[in-house]
Chains A and B, each alone.
Chain A
Amino acid sequence: MSKMLLRRAAMSIPILLAVSVLVFMMIHLMPGDPARIIAGDSATEEDIAMVRTTLGLDKPVVTQYAVYMANVFKGDLGTSLRTHRPVVDEIKVRLPNTIRLAAVAMVLSVVFGVAIGVISASRPYSWADSASMVGALVGVSMPTFYLGLMLMLLFSVKLGWVPLLADNSLKSMILPAVTLGARSLALLARMTRSSMLEVLNQDYILASRAQGLPGNVILYSRALKNSMTTILTVAGLEFGHLMAGAVVTEQVFAWPGIGRLIVESIWARDFPVVQASVLIIAVAFVLINLLTDILYTVVNPRVRFR
């Protein structure tokens, strides 16, 4: 089992390397001279030359990458061009906010998504099932920015139940978390339902009914564990998406997270910050998927012995 996990962890290394190359190349993918673009329209030739030396853009690309990676391993993600502070410090302030938001959104979507999915599957084609699935379809299709704005309009502006802007209270977190988690919640509800319906059709479920186990026991302590593999897969992927999806939600709610930092930095042509933020989100995505794989072995004994 530990061998399997080691192998799986080792597989993350090439992925992370590829991610680092892509993130590093972002600066060279911009059309034109990166130094000129970063320096801005009103920059003098000296400014541009300075940017070029500061960022090491005058060196060969391979050398640039080697220097970049060496610095990353030292924990140095560069210096912000906007604030002239280390990028690491900028991110340290913003990242916890994003993780907190994504975690709350995740808990909301897993708890309600799975519950709705199980209830739907236990009464297929009932009105409760139809209503949930129509709601889930709306949730999956609704654009995040639109949902965010509408929720804000209703609950903050019209009803005044929650503050309009983030003030770090739990109350101000409700709307951003709901907005961010809506898609995952809907997706989880749909996937849980279809997985549960498939499981409930299996011979071993009929067998446990023939053993006299009550319906609730079969549903929640038996069939749900069989569906866990599907639920985990979707939840793992969605948690990654939540980190990335925070860009739009944080913008709509002015939430001081890493997503908002990215947008601010793009506007300010603060390239090292953009690079570092994207790298952090990509690494988080890979780690979450690794964690999902580890959790598989907990819910599915057949994976354990491979």
Chain B
Amino acid sequence: MEKNPAAGAPIAVDRPLLDIADLSVEYRTFDGVVSAVNGLNLSIGAGENLGLVGETGAGKTTTALTVLKLLPPRVGFVTGGRVVFEGRDLLRAPEHDMQTVRGNRISMIFQNPMTSLNPVFTVEQQIQGVLMQHQHLSKEEAKERVGAMLELVGISRRRALEYPHQFSGGMRQRVSIAIALSCNPKLLIADEPTTALDVTIQAQVLKLMNDLKSQFNTSTIMITHDLGIVAENCDTVAVMYAGTVVERAPVKDLFEDPRHPYTVGLFGSLPDPDSTKERLDPIPGSPPDPMALPAGCHFAPRCRKKRPECDEARPVLRQTAAGHYVMCHLAREDAGAGTGTGVGADAGVSSAGGDAR
């Protein structure tokens, strides 16, 4: 919403398209309970392109699967929170209602196009299946729409009767995009859609996604660990660490002025061709064991700015500048930004630490 020219006013603050509040998810395995998502807060407005970044295991995919209620049965459990989409809490919606949301109102594109299409059905059958499920089209109408969708993603409609193994990886991801957008969803979740592709194909697929989502006015959550993709394709970024969003800001603000020590560390571990530094500056240590998270701030054990309070109380996500939210006791606050974030301000801890950078 912050950078959406069409919106004008920050509508997401009033009524976001998707509002995830205090979400917690755990996996109950034979080895123990894995806390995959821990009190996550995230909202996305209509037409907004949000980048969700974080390293492997940060809970990005778990968050996406929770939104669609597709956590692995008997293992993945939501232990708290809300996922409000178009004014309705999906976590309380019955399975039958979820089937009308999935693929229709919210679509998802998966990471590996080599495994996310069914090998024994033609491309036409797979796109048609979604169309007939949600749009109640006749077979002929659906076939016509399949051809149109294929052409939209740059595949000749003559190839509709071919099987996934007859397409290259980039083409298959185009087919996945065609399936995901065929019912004109309000929200598209793309889970590392280009990670499995060659770099040149990556750029093509991302351009296609950008063109189509502005054409369809679809909001997107782009899950990635590639900050370059975020910089070029997103309006806002949310940085995840140990199952929660630790910083969220408009792309430009985050790249120019990262305020969470983890985000600062992320940029420090990127190679900079202009720099004269010989070595990169990685974040020391490794992410916490999700089976035994630290009591205070989850990043505290690795944080160079750590203070005594960091080990005691978990910070909350608070607004430090317009649209810039940080989950850190020490985060610097712009004058007048206040602490009113709607997700609970922590009045007990001030920004006494000053500049967290």
The chain A residues found within 8 Å of chain B, CB to CB, are: 202-214, 217, 222, 225-226, 228, 299-302, 305
Contact = CB atoms under 8 A, between A and B. Distances in A.
Q: Which of B68, B70, B120 has the most CB of A within 10 A?
A: B120
Nearest to A210: B108
A142 to B, nearest CB: 32
B129 to A, nearest CB: 6
Interface stretch (B41-49, B99-107, B267-275): B99-107
A203 B101 contact: no
Interface string B108-134: 101010011111111000000110011
Given A222-B121, A299-B120, A301-B119, A212 B103 contact: yes
Given A210-B108, A212-B104, A213-B133, A301 B120 contact: yes
A213 B116 contact: no
A208 B126 CA distance: 9
Contact of A302 (B70, B108, B110, B119): B119
Interface of B: 68, 70, 98-104, 107-108, 110, 112, 115-122, 129-130, 133-134, 163, 165-166, 176, 179
Nearest to B127: A211
Given A206-B70, A301-B165, A211 B117 contact: no
Given A204-B117, A301-B119, A211 B110 contact: no
A154 B148 CA distance: 64
Contacts of B100: 212
A211 B120 contact: no
Contact of A301 (B104, B110, B163): B163
16 contacts: A203-B115, A204-B115, A207-B110, A207-B117, A208-B129, A210-B68, A210-B102, A210-B110, A211-B107, A211-B179, A212-B99, A217-B133, A222-B121, A225-B120, A226-B118, A226-B119
Nearest to A203: B115
B108 A300 contact: no
Contacts of B134: 212
Nearest to A222: B118
Contacts of B129: 208, 211, 213, 217
In the A-B complex, the 3 residue pairs with the closest CB atoms: A212-B103, A211-B103, A212-B102
A124 to B, nearest CB: 9
Nearest to B73: A124
Contact of A210 (B107, B115, B117, B120): B107
Contacts of A217: 129, 133
Given A211-B179, A212-B100, A206 B118 contact: no
Contacts of A207: 108, 110, 116-118, 176
Contacts of A208: 118, 129
Nearest to B106: A210
Nearest to A207: B116
B98 to A, nearest CB: 8
A209 B106 CA distance: 12
A203 B112 contact: yes
A206 B110 contact: yes
Contact of A202 (B115, B176, B179): B115
A195 B137 CA distance: 33
Nearest to A300: B120
Contact of B130 (A204, A211, A299, A305): A211
A46 B120 CA distance: 67
Contacts of A302: 119, 163, 165
B118 A204 contact: yes
Nearest to A226: B120
A246 to B, nearest CB: 34
A204 B101 CA distance: 18
A212 B120 CA distance: 19
Contacts of B166: 305
Given A203-B116, A226-B120, A212 B70 contact: no
B33 to A, nearest CB: 19
A209 B129 CA distance: 12
A299 B133 CA distance: 23
A49 to B, nearest CB: 64
Nearest to B163: A301
B70 A209 contact: yes
A236 to B, nearest CB: 18
A211 B110 CA distance: 11
Given A206-B70, A214-B133, A217-B129, 19 more contacts: A202-B115, A203-B116, A204-B115, A206-B116, A207-B110, A210-B70, A210-B102, A210-B108, A211-B107, A211-B133, A212-B99, A212-B103, A212-B130, A213-B133, A217-B133, A225-B121, A226-B119, A301-B119, A302-B165
Given A211-B129, A212-B133, A204 B103 contact: no
A202 B112 CA distance: 11
B190 to A, nearest CB: 12
A245 to B, nearest CB: 31
A207 B177 CA distance: 12
B1 to A, nearest CB: 25
A206 to B, nearest CB: 6
Nearest to A223: B118
A207 B100 CA distance: 15
Contacts of A204: 115-119
A68 to B, nearest CB: 45
Contact of B103 (A213, A222, A299): A213
A129 to B, nearest CB: 13
